[in-house]
Every structure is written in structure tokens, then in C-alpha cells.
Amino acid sequence: MELIIENLSKTYGNGVHALNGVSLTIPQGMFGLLGPNGAGKSTLMRTIATLQDASSGSIRLGDLDVLKEHNAVRRQLGYLPQEFGVYPRISAEVMLDHIARLKGIADNSERKHAVEALLQKVNLWDARKRSLGTYSGGMKQRFGIAQALLGNPKLLIVDEPTAGLDPAERNRFYNLLSEIGESTIVILSTHIVEDVQTLCKRFAIICGGEVMYVGTPHEAIHMMDGKVWAKSIPKQEMDAYREQYRVIATNLSEGMLYIRVASDENPGNGFAPAKPTLEDVYFRAISEKMDLVFL
């Protein structure tokens, strides 16, 4: 099964063009959607999740028309938004059972088995009797994934899932999403480059409502070979370098400013070739679109 998005556009009533001709083909596995805040990622996610209409274009999940067959799509969809609420005094076990009922799992035995299996899968079994209000941020995110997986969805959408997690919780979440991606289409919407590089075989960069790049992280990095240059400069000279070069990253260390610039040719002036990273690809793409430098 594939998710196929063709020429999708969305213009809000206030005239804001949130999406402009977005086309993507997303196969089974982990697919990253990388972009800054306000890039159009959440609008795209909400549209795929049948929570809002598009202005034009089409989305198909297998044989289903996502923009028309809302109820049929929702039966095959799991969605974890960036922010979701929980009832703080209810246990994870009871809450999952309630959500399972809402998702149409009426048989008591089937529902009990589904809830227990998911609590084990997301490593919350030992905390299943605890109220959700006592959970850490990472535990709440894992609970969110559990509720999204009820009903064995064919498509799972997760929006900024690792924001605010500590490194240990982020690694646990990485492992969980990787396992889920072995049998499901998983769309990971994020502005964190590390999330995409760690988890996703393919990804897209979206900025200003348009797709700037689609491919693998390896292909993207290889595309920048010989096009990234670095040097250290006095901090007070930064403005002058910004005017002359496309600065894509900076790092301040011991009073010196280390800058990375994108250029198809050696810019001279003491710059040395640097090994490209996925962050270089990302920052170059969005700076070209927005005509800004993201530090």
C-alpha cells in the first residue's frame, strides 16, 4: 500500500497559502517530513488525517480517496498530533480500553487483548495502573502511540513526536517507531534533522508550503559533496560574511565563530572544504526558499 499525494494545495480564508502543489508518494516504512515551523507540515498532516479539507489536489491511500472517504480512511489511520490531552486521573489501561471502544472494538475479549498487547509493545505494562497525570513526557508520548495503534492502522502520522523528550526517552521512541515502520506507513513530521537521519529511509523537505527535496538522507548528503566550506572568523565580522556568502550554519567556540557556507565553487578567502551533513542540506534548502539564513 502507498499514500499518493498529487498537486495538493490549501489556501485559508485569510489568504495564507499553506500548501502549494505538494506531490509525494509514500511507501510502507518510515517517511520523514522535515521543515521549519510554519512550513506547512501540520496543514499537510491534518489534511491527510481527514481533519480539514484541501483547496485542490488529491490524496489516495491504496484504493481510498482520502479527501472524500473520510470514515473509511479513519478506520485505517492512527494519528499522534504534536499536542494531545490526557485525563490525568485515569489509568493508561482504562483510557486505552475506552479509546478502543470508541474505535469500534466491541468484543470484550478482543479489546482486552488489544489493550494488553499495546501496553506491552510501548513498554508501559508495568505502569498500566498508574494515572496518566503521573507519566513523564516520554511515557505520555508512548501512550499516545499506543492509542494511535489501536485497530492496526495501515497509516500512522506522528507530528513532532520527540520535541521536549530527554535523550533516553528519545532513543526509546526511536526504537518504537522503527519497529512500527516495519509493517506500516509511518509519516514523521518534524523540524529535528536528527530524527529524520536516525529513522527514515526517505524524507522530504517542505518549506513555504512547497516540497524542496525528496529522496534518501544518503542521497541528499551526497548531493552536497564539494559544496560546503568552513572557516573560523571573529564574531564581529559575521554581518559582512552574511552579505557575501550563503551562510548555512554557525557555531561559537572559545570566542571564535565557526561558519559553514554553501557554494558550488571554492569561495577562497581561507575557506576549507567540509564534509556535508543532512543539516547542511536542510538549511540550504530552506534558506534558498525563504531567502533567509537559519543559524
Cα 259 from Cα 34, distance rounded (Å): 23
Percent of the chain with pLDDT over 90: 63
pLDDT tens-digit readout, 253-295: 777 899 999 999 999 999 999 999 999 999 998 887 765 434 3
**Where do the structural domains in the chain lie, given as residue ranges?**
3-220, 226-275
The predicted model scores a pTM of: 0.86
Per residue in 60-94, pLDDT (tens digit) is 999 999 999 999 999 899 998 877 777 889 999 99
Task: Specify whether the backbone of 3 is left (phi greater than 0), alpha (psi in -120 to 50) or beta.
Answer: beta
Q: Report the C-alpha gap between 96 and 103 in whole angstroms.
A: 10
- Packed helices 137-149 and 92-102: angle between N→C axes, nearest 10 degrees: 30
CA 286 – CA 154 distance, rounded (Å)? 31
The per-residue pLDDT for range 156-204, each reduced to its tens digit, is: 999 888 777 788 888 888 888 888 888 899 999 988 898 899 889 999 9
Q: Which amino acid is at 89?
A: R
The pLDDT-based confidence of 205 (bands split at 50, 70, 90) is very high
Q: What is the largest CA-CA distance in the chain?
A: 72
pLDDT digits (tens, 9 = 90+) for 155-167: 999 988 877 778 8
Fold (topology level) of 3-220: Rossmann fold (3.40.50)
